Each structure stands twice: as structure tokens, then as C-alpha cells.
Copies of this chain bind each other. A is one copy, B any other.
């Protein structure tokens, strides 16, 4: 079983997608807990983060939302709710794990969103926008549902990592690199940008008041 084994690669991708979905759902549930939502509200927020970005993408692209053919997203959200209730007092100690899973999810969903958009025949710049929406819009929906200002739009190098990955993906494909190389390199770039930005507290410039 090596990296060249397609079955291993498939299993690895499934694992990354599962961990990413779990981290996304957990982020929705934890934010809902801060606002004292009930269990159902927490589940809805978790599910919205887990599938929201991809659902907006699929709705805009005019295709059947991905989660309507795969019940596992509902299950993973249920696991996330279960973990958030059971491990309540230990969730903060696991912050590093959630951060890593969340970043894997951002990279995975960005690339998956781009590939789906390109497969449907849209131009590359639409794919970059859709990759970003796939990775990021769930978190925006979460903040809108919870009546918070979307933190992703305020100070985190999060969406920009997704866009940078999208641009690299485009360049590598134009330069005739293989799909496998392109995907792996893009994945690493998105994860790296996110890690470095959080570690060194790098932010984009803030828009200032007019006076």
C-alpha cells in the first residue's frame, strides 16, 4: 500500500473529507453553544457549516446538491453534535486538532469545488470563485444564522488561502502539470498559507473609516 496505490489515495481523500466535514460541523455547533442554542439548533448550525458552501455552489451551478446523494454528511454532523456535548469541557484543549482538521477541510473543499465547476464547463475564474465559496461560505452562513459579523470577512487569512490555491491550480494546469501534482501542490499551498498566517498573526489590511 503506497501513495501510488489508487485505493490508498481514495481512502486518504475520504479521510481528509471526513475530518474536514467533522471540523466544519463542530465549528458550527460550538458557535451555536456560545449563543445557547438548543441541540436541534446546534445540529442545524453544524450541518449548515458542513454542507452550506457546497450547497450554494451546486445551487448556483444548477446541479443537485452533493449531500442529497450521500447520507454520511448527516451522520458526521450527528457525530459532531455528540462529541460537542460529551467532550464539552475538553473541546478547548482539542483546539489544535480542530484547527488542523478545519484547514484540511478548507483545502479539500476548495479543490473539490474547483474541480466540480471545471467539469461542468465553466471558465477558470468561476472555478476559483466557486472553490472559495465551497470552502468558506459555510462559515459565513454560520455567522449570519448566529447573528454574528462574519469573522472570515473581518480578519482571518482564510478565504485568501482558498483564492491563492485556486490561482495556483489554474497556473499549474495551464503549465501542463499533471492533475495529481497540481492537486497535491495546491493542497499544500492552502494549508501552508493558513498555518503561517495564524502562526505569525498575519492579516490583510483593514478597511478604515472615512474620517
Contacts and interface: CB of A to CB of B under 8 A. Distances in A.
Interface stretch (A1-9, A10-18, A152-160, A169-177): A152-160
Interface residues of A, number: 60
A68 B126 contact: yes
Interface in A193-211: 203-211
B205 A153 contact: no
Interface stretch (A29-37, A98-106, A107-115, A181-189): A29-37
Contacts of A153: 32, 37-38, 40-41, 44-45, 145
Indicate how many identical chains form the complex.
3
Interface string A29-63: 11011111111111011000000000100011011
A180 interface: no
Contact of A30 (B35, B147, B148, B210): B210
A190 interface: no
Given A44-B159, A65-B60, A89-B211, A39 B205 contact: yes
Contacts of A209: 33-34, 36
Contacts of A123: 68, 71
Contacts of A59: 59-60
Q: What are the nearest 4 A-B pairs in CB distance?
A: A41-B153, A33-B207, A38-B204, A147-B149
